Amino acid sequence: MSLTSLARLDDIPVGEWDALVPAGQPFLRHAFLSSLEDSGSLGPRSGWRADHLLWAQDGRTLAAMPGYRKQHSYGEYVFDQGWAEACGRAGIDYYPKWLGAVPFSPVTGARLLGDPAAAARLLAALPEHLDRHGLSGAHVNFTDARANDLLAAEPDWLRRLGCQYHWFNRGYRDFQDFLDTLASRKRKQMRKEREQVAAQGIDFEWLEGARVTEAQWDFIYACYANTYAVRGRRPYLARDFFSLLAERMPDAIRLVLASQQGRPVAMAFSLVDGATFYGRYWGCLAEFDRLHFETCFYQGIDYAIAQGLARFDAGAQGEHKLIRGFEPVLTDSWHYLCHPGLREAVADFLAEERLAVRTWAEEARLSLPYRQA
């Protein structure tokens, strides 16, 4: 039995990797992760170097962790820049570090893939991997319940809590059925927002991945890139990522295009599995009142209801989601820091932060628009 690492996901056959991935987790599929690498969205120039870990026995891969060596903390959505700055002041190298996550995707899911016993052995061997390659620590973000159990059983791993906002489908027949569960004022606000968009002559079209043309992908990418350009930043994803993903896993892609008088003006890019709608990227090339809320939230709720999906994960941050029915959900990440002094300081910080996050989530529920029972 041994721990090995891959500098490219293409070094493991698609079927061998996907056999380790639980059903219904599109972000962990070989198609998604390899599209990030093959499109150039990841690589040495971007500060992301693939370092996927495998645990094998007799030539058969039993467990794996998707991972990367990082020279920065961008694109993670678990913010440790303050820790890096503290290390700099103390003369401690924080980078490079190892990250177990799906790049640019704050989506909870499996991080220790495959057989649980083999995954536990892989995890136990990770500190030696860090030491051998001069990595300051390991960070495993947006972990599911099984990964939480495995990480909690290992010494010196520190748990961190975060908070996102998800919408849950409670058997609604249609959008109006959902509205009927809201307090009167909130119900009127949502209805008014939808009416404002309709009054501007905006129409919406849903497309699955196989139906999207290259010209439409050009438009989608222009919208996506514009959300970064207006903030003076470069987009994380390369244009080729979208074409590769459409070729490799079109079944998981859902797009909604917004048009005015036949002219496309905005889009939202999402993925789906059997139970969840994952809202990912939004962008527009012209400004319209309330278009963001309609395209990113209300259209997604409509789709989830129509398709019988149980949950709508609309991505990171955004307390404005609360008043539109998205409920606070706690997320987990785990951190192993090789420097004992840093580990002790971060442990103290996280103990206080966990309490604050739990308090915030409880208080945030008071802003939900649902009628009181």
Residue 326 corresponds to which tokens in the numbers above? 């998205």
325 contacts 168 by C-beta, under 8 angstroms: no
Same domain, 232 and 262: yes
Same domain, 148 and 187: no
**Threshold 0.85, pTM exceeds:** yes
Output the domain CATH number for residue 341: 3.40.630.30
Same domain, 6 and 73: yes
Q: How many domains does the chain have?
A: 2
- Tell whether 345 is covered by a domain: yes
Same domain, 15 and 141: yes
Same domain, 131 and 186: no
Same domain, 153 and 180: no
| CA-closest candidate to residue 94, choices 61, 135, 39, 51 | 135
Q: From first to last of its 373 residues, what are the pLDDT tens digits of the chain?
A: 789 999 999 999 999 999 999 999 999 999 999 999 999 999 888 999 999 999 999 989 999 999 999 999 999 999 999 999 999 999 999 999 999 999 999 999 999 999 999 999 999 999 999 999 999 999 999 999 999 999 999 999 999 999 999 999 999 999 999 999 999 999 999 999 999 999 999 999 999 999 999 999 999 999 999 999 999 999 999 999 999 999 999 999 999 999 999 999 999 999 999 999 999 999 999 999 999 999 999 999 999 999 999 999 998 777 899 999 999 999 999 999 999 999 999 999 999 999 999 999 999 999 999 998 6
Same domain, 210 and 333: no
Give the residue numbers spanning the domain of 282: 170-309
Same domain, 153 and 23: yes
Same domain, 174 and 200: yes
Residues 193/198/201/205 CA torsion (nearest 10 deg): 110
Same domain, 145 and 220: no
Same domain, 178 and 131: no
- Tell whether 317 is covered by a domain: no
Same domain, 304 and 210: yes
Q: What is the DSSP letter of 139?
A: E
- Tell whether 55 is covered by a domain: yes
